[in-house]
Structure 1
Amino acid sequence: MIRPIAILVGLGFSIVVLLAFVTGAYTWATEEAQHTAEHEFHLAPHGPEGGFEHDGPLGTWDMAQLQRGYQVYKEVCAACHSLKYVAFRDLAGLGYTEGQIKAEAASYQVPGINPDTGEATFRAGVPTDYFPSPYPNAVAAAAANNNAIPPDLSLMTKARHHGPEYVYSLLTGYGPIPDELTAQFPDFDTPAGLHFNQYFPNLNLAMAPPITADGQVTYAEGNPEPTIRQMSADVAAFLTWTAEPKMVERRQTGWPVLGFLIFATILAFFAKKQVWSSGSPRREHD
């Protein structure tokens, strides 16, 4: 008795899932696109002209760009955004020496414990520490940012579709509301405390433009001019590295592995041909 009931329950479940799938597919195929300001004027992200050095299966890190991006993060983004999954010692991957890493870590104050009283305190960072949050807690972060908590940036380019391009586009996408949008959607507006950005899904973003002028960050001699687009590209590349620091090494390992697998497949094919060949040669009869 139990087996037929189980079969019927399973069959009913399968029918419900199939109906849901068919209904959803039909709705997706026949439903008209929403005619809203967000749908009509939201732009797909794009990267800087010429793309990033790390793009493509043969891409590599541009260490100079990563260091510039870290400088932009430190001088601009770190005021609001944390990098809680990145330790100071990880900066060795950007080409910094041990002494430079110690100096960078010591320039930050990180939470600690007073060994004499046991009370919470702050101390100079060491290479094994992680980048500290600019706010003590989420409540303080929201209070300082119009009730919007700035997200951690450690994995941002992995958390967003076309992450590096999204970061670059968002940083360069602030501006006035286009006249075409106002003409087509008279009721659309950017509320007080928000900022219009066509690369943000609902067009209005709580984050004020962080990079507002060329030369906002001073690069060392020999680097490109620190324009808004250049600084945006540099910090987008840096955040790509924080999200996946071993990306280039993984690609470089993948190509030899792929070559070995192709060679092994060919070798196995000829071995199969040899082992399963058509028996011993026929004997000729007199």
Structure 2
Amino acid sequence: MLSRIASQTARRSVKQLSQQTRFASTKPAFAGHSNKQATAVTAGIIGATALTYMYVDASANMADEGLHPPSHPWPHSGPLDTFDHASIRRGYQVYREVCSACHSLDRIAWRNLIDVSHTEDEVKAMAEEFEYQDGPDDNGEMFMRPGKPADYMPKAYPNEEAARAANAGALPPDLSLITKARHGGEDYVFALLTGYVDAPGGVEVREGLNYNPYFPGGAIAMAQTLFDGVVEYEDGTPATASQMAKDVCTFLAWAAEPEHDERKKMGMKATVITVGLVALSVYLKKFKWAPLKTRKIVYK
């Protein structure tokens, strides 16, 4: 009886030992296999998604999003570069004579042009060419008065409904922040103004629209507005279409960020001060504090 119990106990111990050995040998292999399989599946999903985007939806997305505009070396694009203020003045002239017929510039007041592109007397004279509603007067009635430098640029249309009615349902956007609101900034605006071409074969543009590959969807309600000689510059610069597009893009870039030049000037001052403070701290650390920190005190 005792031998039978001993044999059963021995068999049970051998069985448990074999199970533990089997689990010990299979668990790490199973976990590694599972991790490799999960990695392979994840890589396959990512690769399939990328291939689908590149080869299946690429053409549709390009048409929907528009061509990516080429990058141009703008005079103000460098970290230490400022605006070309002569170009800003010419760009304002292009905006006033061409763009302002449809587009507003709500966030820019006449006074913002002073000492940027025009003198104070020139700005006052330009503002007085327009009439603004003011009041009420002593009789409680509204009246019209000449513009002042504190007034904002006049709107092309009195309200959104009038703007849509005059443009076949399309709403001309305000240009105050257009270079910040569009991907590509002034590069996009320049490409849009100079990118009008005939629609390629197989592309239909409905009546009343124009084909421009840089505009999302390719069909834009705004017709081409810049042609050689449409504006006569005061300084005698040849008014080619590309020159006018460059100038008005510079003006709109300034309108979106009037503090651009001052910001870079303050950045230079802050850089100089920071470098001076760092140099002073290094000097104090090396020649003043280090000897005190490393000195030894010996007691006799």
Aligned to 1:250: 263
Question: 1:79–1:134: 8 Å Cα contact kept in structure 2?
Answer: yes
Aligned to 1:192: 207
Contact 2:182–2:188, Cα closer than 8 Å, also in 1: yes
The reply to whether residue 236 of structure 1 matches residue 249 of structure 2 is yes
Question: CA 1:31–1:121 in structure 2 vs 1: closer, same or farther (change >3 Å)?
Answer: farther
* Alignment check: 8 A CA contact 1:88 1:101 kept: yes
- Of the two, which has the highest radius of gyration? 2
Letter in 2 for 1:196: Y
Choose which of 21, 26, 39 in structure 1 pairs with 2:62.
39
Runs of 5+ consecutive residues of structure 2 not aligned to the other structure: 1-41
In structure 1, give the amino acid aligned to 2:211. Answer: F
Q: How far apart are 1:119 and its partner, in Å? A: 4.6
Secondary structure in structure 2 of the residue aligned to 1:110: strand
Post-superposition Cα deviations, 1:51-90, rounded to whole Å, max 9, x if no partner, equal 3221211212212111110000000000011111111111
Contact 1:47–1:164 (8 Å) recurs in 2:
no
- Cα distance in 1, alignment partners of residues 244 and 116 from structure 2: 17
Matches within 5 A, 1:1-286: 26=46, 29=50, 31-33=52-54, 34-39=57-62, 42-46=66-70, 51-113=73-135, 115=137, 118-178=140-200, 182=201, 186=202, 188-211=203-226, 213-220=227-234, 222-273=235-286, 274-275=288-289, 277=291, 278-281=293-296, 283=298
Per-residue deviation, residues 173-197 of structure 1 (Å, max 9, x unmatched): 111013xxx2xxx3x3112121111
Amino acid at match of 1:32: Y
How far the C-alpha of 1:202 sits from its partner, in A, is 1.5
> Which one has more relative contact order, counting CA pairs under 8 Å at least 6 apart?
1
Measured after TM superposition, the shift of residue 123 of structure 1 is 3.0
Instruction: Determine what percentage of the aligned residue pairs are the same residue.
Output: 40
- Provide TM-score, normalisation by structure 1: 0.79
RMSD, aligned α-carbons: 2.7
Aligned residues: 252
User: Structure 2 vs 1, CA of residues 269 and 44 (structure 1 numbering), >3 Å: closer, same or farther?
Assistant: same
TM-score (ref. length: structure 2): 0.75
Structure with greater helix percent: 2
Cα pair 1:154 1:243 within 8 Å, conserved: yes
Q: Which runs of 5+ in 1 are unaligned?
A: 1-21
